């Protein structure tokens, strides 16, 4: 159906906060600038060190942004999902990507060429404000992550990541908050700077204390949220 093709495209622009101040006609103009692409789980979308030519907006799915260290470790910096964008650095500075992006599940993205987006920016300055707003939020998350890693106990870091996931990926059930985990145990470890084994042990402890319940490896039920503070 023809009009469905349009719907599909609209999705990209409609749900994106940075375009939220534009009206319908303006959005339609933008649609023509967009290229879409779909990635499967574990596929690399951007590799650290590459030059970026697009601003990328996630339409559907989840990705992780991470750095690999020389000695084979991995630090996950962000988990991006629907509506989030990345590659914005190349818009102001002509720099290489400072981290890699990998799909955590089937993910469809929208790409806008650097030039096109710069034109949009000068045409609609409010988009710039929205981006600054989003960058500010990202900065605040990073600042909190540093505070956690620098000053908090390992237990507290586990609590924090559980609460963070509960907020972003949790649903309220009668027995508690059910989290659809975006990351594996190893992923969680790489997100908060621990090892897989330590995460595993800490979660087992929490389960023994009846604070959480692990459901397979993909879900966790938080039975008593208040014990995680």
Which CB atom, from 118 or from 200, has the smaller least distance to DNA?
200
Does the footprint of its own copies cover residue 47 (CB under 8 A)? no
Contact status: 9 vs its own copies (CB under 8 A): no
- The tokens describing 113, both together, are 């060429």
Segment 145 to 164, residues that bind its own copies, using CB under 8 A: 145-147, 149-152
Among 20, 60, 108, 184, binds DNA (CB under 7 A): 184
19 vs 170 by CB, closer to its own copies: 19
Which member of 40, 115, 218, 227 binds DNA (CB under 7 A)? 218
Q: Binder to DNA among 11, 27, 154, 178 (CB under 7 A)? A: 154
**Is 103 a residue that touches its own copies (CB under 8 A)?**
no
67 binds DNA (CB under 7 A): no
**Nearer to DNA among residue 60 and residue 200 (C-beta):** 200
Task: Write the interaction track for DNA spanning residues 102-141; mark x where CB under 7 A is met and - where it is not.
Answer: ----------------------------------------
Distance of CA 146 to the CA centre of its chain: 18
DSSP string, the chain: -HHHHHHHHHHHHHT-GGGTT--HHHHHHHHTTEEEEEE-TT-EEE-TTPBP-EEEEEEESEEEEEEE-TTS-EEEEEEEETT-EE-THHHHS--B-SSEEEESSSEEEEEEEHHHHHHHHHH-HHHHHHHHHHHHHHHHHHHHHHHHHHHS-HHHHHHHHHHHHHHHHEEE-SSSEEEE-SS-HHHHHHHHT--HHHHHHHHHHHHHTTSEEEETTTEEEES-GGGG-
175 binds its own copies (CB under 8 A): no
Q: Which residues bind its own copies (CB under 8 A)?
A: 67, 69, 71, 73-75, 77, 88-89, 91-93, 98-99, 122, 125, 128-129, 131-133, 135-136, 138-140, 142-143, 145-147, 149-152, 190, 192-193
């Amino acid at each position: 159906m023809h009009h469905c093709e349009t719907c599909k495209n609209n999705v990209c622009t409609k749900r994106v906060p940075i375009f939220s101040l534009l009206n319908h006609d303006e959005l339609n103009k933008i649609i023509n600038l967009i290229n879409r692409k779909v990635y499967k789980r574990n596929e690399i979308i951007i590799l650290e060190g590459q030059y970026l030519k697009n601003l990328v907006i996630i339409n559907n799915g989840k990705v992780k942004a991470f750095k690999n260290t020389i000695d084979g470790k991995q630090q996950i910096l962000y988990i991006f999902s629907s509506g989030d964008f990345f590659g914005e650095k190349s818009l102001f500075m002509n720099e290489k990507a400072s981290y890699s992006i990998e799909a955590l599940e089937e993910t469809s993205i929208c790409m806008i060429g650097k030039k096109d987006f710069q034109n949009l920016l000068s045409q609609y300055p409010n988009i710039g404000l929205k981006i600054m707003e989003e960058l500010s939020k990202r900065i605040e998350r990073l600042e909190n992550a540093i505070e956690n890693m620098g000053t908090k106990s390992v237990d507290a870091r586990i609590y924090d990541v559980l609460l963070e996931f509960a907020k972003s990926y949790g649903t309220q059930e009668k027995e508690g908050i059910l989290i659809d985990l975006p990351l594996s145990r190893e992923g969680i470890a790489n997100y908060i700077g621990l090892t897989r084994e330590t995460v595993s042990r800490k979660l087992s402890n929490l389960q023994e204390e009846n604070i959480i319940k692990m459901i397979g490896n993909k879900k966790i039920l938080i039975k008593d949220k208040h014990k995680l503070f």
